[in-house]
Structure 1
Amino acid sequence: MATESSDNKLQLYSYWMSSCAFRARIALNLKGIKYEYKPVNLLKGEQHSDPDFLKLNPVGFVPVLVDGDLVISDSFAIIMYLEDKFTQRPLLPSDLQKRIINFQVAHIVASSIQPMQNMRILDYIGEKVSPDEKLSWVHGVIRKGFTAIEKLLKGHTGRYATGDELFLADVFLAPQFYAATSVNVDMSEFPVLARLMETYKEVPVIREASPENQPDAPSPGT
């Protein structure tokens, strides 16, 4: 649903490989909201060196959503804003138990997994401990989080995490699966999550939001 038109009110500052930005893109797609994609190259350090971007988010993270005069610089806040403002296609189920499960899954990914295996943490481990420890650290973090989510979802899944519709848990899980695949996490010990991971690959709104399909993704072979 990304668009190059500058006339579009919503702007998403994003990096193709950012799992946090990936979440926001899925939510926008699920809601059917068009937006202008504004690339921020994390590898080049633009998130810390571009003064215009730092005015939007002094912390220097993506994603950032700009809606007119409103600037939102956290993926969870962005997704909740979209849920409140754009009432079409709810991201949370009406069933209270499933709603709480969705929040728990999202928080495990957003608080216990992704921040502990992002580039800043891995760079620190590589510098202070050893570059050889980075992969084992990432595997440990992801496996611990996935173990908790596997137990949480058992008995509550349908086609997707909490039924037959995509909800908040799916929005957070799909990007984390992508990250897990990139470091070759063995998913065989997580049968529920492994099935969901394969299912997400066939969902158009997730495929459209996937890193390789973003405007700033490198061309194959480069």
Structure 2
Amino acid sequence: MTDPVLHGYFRSTASYRVRIVLNLKGVAYADAFHHLRKGEQRAPAYLALNPQGLLPALEIDGAVLTQSLAICEYLDETVAGPALLPVDPIRRAKVRAAAQAIACDIHPIQNLKILDRLRGLGLNDDQVNGWAAQVIDEGLDAFDRLIAGEEGPFCFGDQVTLADICLVAQLVNARRFGVDLRWPRLVAVEQACLALDAFSKATPQNQPDAE
């Protein structure tokens, strides 16, 4: 059986999430890189795999999967290893909500397509970056309050969950846009995660296509 193929880009936040999960689950995979700033994700060959022209996509088990959270949950459901979602339905819903608060509400605002459209509306780079930074700041502040009652080194206790995976990837974006990381709890979670090989090996700077 051939290894899965991850279509990604070192700086893609969503690709970073999937790399972490592949590592946590011990899944060997091959990389196929698509340079976002060069528009390679819009090449016909890639659009045939993912009509959205977004990264990542994962070729696995005879299928092509898209959307990072869907990919992560598929891996969680089909590959042995640490579970990314709690068994308890309420806890499970809370983890999913925290993950989606980042993946659905914060992260999309930094998508190149969105930022380019803002520039097309006449905003200069400082205005575009400032707007993105404000969205990240407000979103992370809400995320910090969502997990305020939780103990443990990770977002929801002693075990890594989908929420941690989304948070760590998003903090890379936060720094890129100059956001002041004024949340000690979030920074502590990031440090606990990056102490794990699965996270550290998945960081953008450790990818073969890193610039």
TM-score by structure 1 length?
A: 0.89
Select 2:155's aligned residue among 148, 161, 165: 161
Q: Counterpart in 1 of 2:21?
A: 27
Taking the aligned partners of 1:199 and 1:68, their CA distance within structure 2 comes to 32
Deviates more, 1:14-23 or 1:113-122: 113-122
Per the alignment, in what secondary structure is the counterpart of residue 59 of structure 2? strand
Alignment of 1:1-222 (within 5 A): 8-49=2-43, 51-128=44-121, 129-188=123-182, 190-218=183-211
Say whether the 8 Å CA contact 2:153–2:188 is kept in structure 1: no
Q: Deviation per CA, 1:183-221, whole angstroms, max 9, x where unpaired?
A: 221112x23212222333322211100001111112xxx
How many residue pairs end up in the alignment? Answer: 210
Residue 23 of structure 1 and its aligned partner are, at CA, apart by 0.4
Could you tell me whether the CA contact under 8 Å between 1:113 and 1:145 is conserved in 2? yes
* Alpha-carbon contact 1:14-1:37 (below 8 Å) kept: yes
* Structure 1 residue 96, shift from structure 2 partner: 3.3
In 2, Cα distance between equivalents of 1:88 and 1:191: 29
Q: Is there any run of 5+ residues in structure 2 with no aligned partner, and where?
A: none
Identity across aligned pairs (percent)? 35
CA distance in 2, matches of 1:68, 1:97: 31
RMSD after superposition: 1.4
- State the distance in 2 between where 1:187 and 1:68 align: 39
Name stretches of at least 5 consecutive residues in structure 1 with no aligned partner. Answer: 1-6
Output the amino acid matched with 1:111: C
Contact 2:9 2:35 in 1 (8 A): yes
Q: Do 2:23 and 2:202's aligned partners in 1 also have CA atoms closer than 8 Å?
A: yes
